[in-house]
Amino acid sequence: MRVLLVEDEKDMAAALTAALGRHDIVVDHARTLEIAEEASRSGVHDAVLLDRKLPDGDGLTLIPLMRREQPGLPIIVLSALGSPDHRVAGLDNGADDYLPKPFSTDELLARLRAVLRRPSQMGETAVNVGRLRFSLSERQAEIDGQPLDLPRRELLALELLMRRAGRTVSRNALEEAVYGFDDEISSNSLDAHISRLRRKLAAAGVEIHAIRGLGYLLRVAE
């Protein structure tokens, strides 16, 4: 999962990025409305965590723009403005949820899971290729019913490859899924992740083909 965090408080942003990262969530951080508006146009995020009191305005003004770019994009407002009137204003302006500060990471994760389960976000719940099954709701891979323990970046790469099984996934799309905007990417780091993933999936009768000059394709082994 990849989320856009719109938050101007440096310590809060760092703490949330670290906490969410421990749950295999890639976080892109934007500290102003202007930066967030540009980031939202990338179309790569699964959800948005949106502060209200930003240096260049109220975060709620971003919601209509984000809805135009991605109509079903889940948006959770995180704000110290936590009175009933403030929460009503957030929801009336199009937020899917409103979580007053301070809050626990567990509660935020629960609310993220909840908004992602809503009908506009629900489609396939799992993808099966060979003996490999990937639960999109639990974000867990299994081979013959046995959980496959994967590092975060391998899991993120596998999720995208499974969602597009049988189709070529470009290197650029994989890098966007696996790395945050601020991550440094070496020339062969993605290839290294794919190589390790390929070895782990061999037992499931699944192979990842390199498509020269384009990207990778996941399919049942021939």
Mean pLDDT, the chain, rounded, equals 88
How far CA 21 is from CA of 24, 35, 150, in Å, comes to 5, 21, 14
H-helix or E-strand spanning residue 177: helix 171-178
CATH 1.10.10.10 boundaries in the chain:
126-220
Q: Which CATH class is domain 126-220?
A: mainly alpha
Give me the pLDDT at residue 7, please.
96
Task: Please report, in angstroms and rounded to a whole number, the separation of the first and last CA atoms in the chain.
Answer: 30
Strand order of the β-sheet with 47-50 is: 26-30, 2-6, 47-50, 75-79, 97-100
pLDDT at 168 over 60: yes
Question: What is the greatest pairwise CA distance in the chain?
Answer: 60
How far CA 152 is from CA of 9, 74, 90, 193, 194, in Å, comes to 26, 22, 32, 10, 13
How crowded is residue 10: how many other Cβ atoms within 10 Å of its Cβ?
A: 10
Radius of gyration, CA atoms only, the chain = 18
Residue 81 has which token pair? Answer: 């403005």
pLDDT in tens, 119-164: 555 455 788 999 999 987 778 999 999 999 999 899 999 998 998 8
Give me the pLDDT at residue 1, please.
82
CATH 3.40.50.2300 boundaries in the chain:
2-121
With residues binned 3-state (H G I as helix, E B as strand, rest as coil), the percentages for the chain, rounded to 5, are 40, 25, 35
CATH superfamily of 2-121: Response regulator (3.40.50.2300)
| Contact (Cβ atoms closer than 8 angstroms) between residue 181 and residue 167 | no
pLDDT in tens, 43-53: 788 899 999 99
The C-alpha torsion from 168 through 171 and 174 to 180, rounded to 10°, is: -160
For residue 200, name the pLDDT band (cuts at 50, 70, 90). very high
